[in-house]
Amino acid sequence: MPTQTTSKQKIVTQLFATMAKHVKNEPIESRPVLEQLIYAILRENATRESADQAFEALRGRFFDWNEVRVTSTLEIIETFNGALSDAEARAQRIVDLLQEIFETTYSFDLEPLLEVLQKKGMKQAAKQLMRFQAANDYAAAWVMQQSLGGHVIPLDSTALRVLKRMGMIEELADLEAIRASIENQIPKAKGSQFVDLISVLADLHCLEQAPRCSACPLRTACPTGQEAKAHAAPTMKKPR
Ligand code: SF4
């Protein structure tokens, strides 16, 4: 049965109340568009802490983005130092993105693109960003939220899994409709923190294979948590 609006609001309230202590209470660092795209590749299906760690390691180890472009993916993976899952795919996407940008602009400056994007509506801006082969829906949404200040909430497969379990979304088919629904429920000022909270919740409790519902602070509001509790409850033996 679809979760009612009031129940969804209860879940959102509990999410902010119980998980906020696990995330950084400071705005995300402002970065040029190119770096936001690279950061989005690191941040997708990862916590902010892990993405920050990998991004800082990249910046610290390599002289500039051109050096990253010509570096082997193996060396980039080593730089992540185990901070991220799917390290090989992420490293390859970063190299591909840098190569594509270099071939199309002969530089690593995407700030002129930002001016173009600012003049377009959010939908057109997203389409333009997704012309980069290595950019996907998440990366485009990330740039729109962080660089264009739009009320756009980047949703990766981890967030979709958690939101589905919590009954915040019903179907996984239409990503645009899902995002519109979530953006309706989360105020713009809290969009960035919401993304942080969901990824930490997924990391600590709402694991892909076996969610730890019994220890999850959302278990009293989350329908999946409630279901798990009902199944775990011992059945009373009838007196003989
Ligand atoms: S109660 Fe279980 S399913 Fe619901 S958010 Fe927590 S871990 Fe995930």
For the segment 82-109, what is each residue's pLDDT rounded down to a tens digit?
999 999 999 999 999 999 999 988 888 8
**Which pTM value belongs to this model?**
0.91
Per-residue tokens: 119? 């003049």
Which of 164, 219, 227 most suits a substitution to test ligand 1, by most atoms within 8 Å of the C-beta?
219
**Per-residue pLDDT at 7:** 85
Domain boundaries, the chain: 5-25+153-215, 33-146
Over residues 100-123, mean pLDDT: 85
For the segment 13-32, what is each residue's pLDDT rounded down to a tens digit?
999 999 888 887 787 888 99
Q: How confident is the model at residue 56 (pLDDT cuts 50, 70, 90)?
A: very high
Q: Ligand 1: residues whose CB is within 6 Å?
A: 162, 165-166, 205-206, 211-213, 216, 218-219, 222, 224-225
Q: Give me ligand 1 centre to Cα 46, in Å.
A: 18
d(CA 103, CA 42): 22
Over residues 160-186, mean pLDDT: 89
Let me know: does 163 contact 198? Beta carbons within 8 Å: yes
**Per-residue pLDDT at 112:** 84
Those residues with Cβ within 8 angstroms of residue 94's Cβ, 6 or more apart along the chain or in another chain: 38, 41, 58, 68, 76, 134
CATH superfamily of 33-146: Hypothetical protein; domain 2 (1.10.340.30)
- The whole-angstrom distance between residue 154's C-alpha and the CA centroid of its chain comes to 6
For the segment 42-54, what is each residue's pLDDT rounded down to a tens digit?
999 999 999 999 9
Per-residue tokens: 43? 């941040």
Q: How confident is the model at residue 6 (pLDDT cuts 50, 70, 90)?
A: confident
Q: Give me ligand 1 centre to Cα 202, in Å.
A: 8
Terminal-to-terminal C-alpha distance of the chain: 38
Considering the domain 5-25+153-215, what is its CATH architecture?
Orthogonal Bundle (1.10)
Those residues with Cβ within 8 angstroms of residue 179's Cβ, 6 or more apart along the chain or in another chain: 141, 152, 153, 155
